[in-house]
Amino acid sequence: MTKLTINSVKNSKIDHVNFNELPFGKVFTDHMFSCDYVNGEWVNPTISEYGPISLDPSARVFHYGQAVFEGMKAYKDENDDIFLFRPEDNFDRINKSAHRLAIPEFPKEFFFEGLEQLLLLEKEWIKTGKGNSLYIRPFVIATQPAISASPAEEYKFMIICSPAKSYYAGEVRVIFAEEYSRSANGGVGYAKAAGNYGAQFYPTSLAHKEGYQQIIWTDANTHEYLEEAGTMNIFFRVNDTLITAPTSDRILDGITRKSVLQLAKDNNIATEVRPVSVAEIKEAANNGSLKEIFGSGTAAVINPILGFKHGDFKFELPALTDNNYSSFFKKALNDIQYNLAEDKHQWRHKVTK
């Protein structure tokens, strides 16, 4: 690999940050990693001061949307050691996303050396204690200046970091989609493409006006099957069985989702990975067998859903104090992430000098 250049800042801005009141994704650390794709190869891996970048107005990312990203977190245990959670999966997925958008795949050595050196520089930004983490955003954009509708020949890969607490605050209720769609067969729904998220903002804003925080998207063909939410995979607990939709070219292969399914298997919790219909969830709500709905994702980890709406049908989930699956999985995941429990699947990755 080309030697990594590190230009560290002289004065950190960390003392001006209130870590007790962190708006998600709006405060950034001192440094960022960047690397350029030119002449058919990735070059110039550099860590430098976080700040604006310069792009030509005709950079293809602005016109044709060649942009993919990942979401990761770093955690710190009580010994001041830093850990990542399943970072190999994030690396594999960003390259899978890149491939779908005709973006050159990123070398593994660049990804991990750049990421780990960046985290070591930003070590003080990662606070101990459950709920505290450093959110990590790797992304790739097309930078070549040309407004011709074809894949770019130049790209920039970057990693930026933001100290974080919980992603969602307060109660979360959802609408089951009836009109708008997140993705369709043959599309880019399985990729973390920037456009997937931008296209959700308008229908989600309509949900907000009705007092709902998220949409659970349904299949584009019939709107009869529940698939995923804007930033989360979705689980339904019917009686004591955990049900979630299978991944496909419409649904993101969530890393937290895979972890929940494995933890369920480890703890003898029945699971079903299959199409989940709107009708069956409404029926389960009516007959009392629907016990929980929760979302899973890197930012949210596990986020309970308190109620849902579909057409004129509204339902509030029962308040479970005992045998609560969402609380169980969140604690189990956090205990692994913060180095508080055995990691028998080797998900935890220690960042070392």
> How does pLDDT run across 273-327, given as a tens digit for each residue?
999 999 999 999 999 999 999 999 998 899 999 999 999 999 999 887 788 999 9
Provide the percentage of residues in the chain whose pLDDT is more than 70.
98
Q: Does 72 have pLDDT greater than 80?
A: yes
- Sorted by where each starts, the structural domains of the chain and their CATH numbers stand as 5-164 (3.30.470.10), 173-337 (3.20.10.10)
Helix (H, G, I), strand (E, B) or coil at 227: strand
User: In the prediction, which pLDDT does 170 show?
Assistant: 67
Report the mean per-residue pLDDT for the chain.
95
Q: Is the pLDDT of residue 41 over 70?
A: yes
Q: Would you say residue 167 has pLDDT above 70? A: no
* Tokens (6 digits) for 165: 């607490």
> Residue type at 47?
I
Q: What is the mean pLDDT of residues 7-12?
A: 96
Task: State pLDDT tens for residues 213-269.
Answer: 999 999 999 999 999 997 899 999 999 999 999 999 999 999 999 999 999 999 999
Residue 170 vs residues 166, 203, 258, 330: alpha-carbon distances, Å: 10, 21, 26, 16
